[in-house]
Amino acid sequence: MTDTALSFVHRFEPATDAGAPPLLLLHGTGGDENDLIQLGRMLSPGSALLSPRGKVLEGGAPRFFRRLREGVFDEEDVRFRAAELADFVTEARKVYNVAAPVAVGFSNGANIAAAMLLTRPEVLAGAVLLRAMVPLAAPPAADLKGRGVLLLSGGMDPIVPEENAERLAAQLRAAGARLDHRTLPVGHGLSQADIGLARQWLAAPQPVAA
């Protein structure tokens, strides 16, 4: 059910399995709060699902932050929007009584999830980043020790250069994340391999962050 009462328009689905991790679902450009619900159900059946709609519009298409052109981000806006989204997650956790979620983001949603990991790491238990790229050229020092991150890149992705994905991987490792970075023989769109790997990763026991 879509809710407009909190600081982001969003959908929330309660957990049906107390042992499944809550998921924060973050859509790509042009998506909305409904976009990744089915994916969330597929990746972690029984998880609580929290799915906000990005507040920035680009030609009418919702996004989570502004960009100057494809692949070039307004980094001041990235920082502002990451903080705004982190505050919403904190707010929603209290309202819905859920633990720190694992972010599952695609494209623009994966980029804002990466920005949250690097600027407000306490908000997330971990992340599945699907086709993410570097959101901040020089992120602040973050402590991601104990947090797992699955980064799935496309070897034929026309939007995210391989070098950029490797740079993001290096940033996350430097912050102490337990990073699993895989490059699949696919483009920017999601594949069955992404779904299978993400589902397997989410089902594995995750150490609790210190």
Catalytic machinery residues:
107, 157, 188
**Cβ atoms of residues 70 and 159 within 8 Å:** yes
SS3 of 192, please?
helix
| Residues 149, 173: Cα–Cα separation, whole Å | 9
Any idea which residue has 């990451």 for tokens? 82
**Cβ atoms of residues 106 and 26 within 8 Å:** yes
Any idea which residue has 């779904």 for tokens? 195
* Nearest residue to 206 (alpha-carbon basis) of 110, 99, 126: 126
| Residues 152, 141: Cα–Cα separation, whole Å | 23
| Residues 93, 168: Cα–Cα separation, whole Å | 28
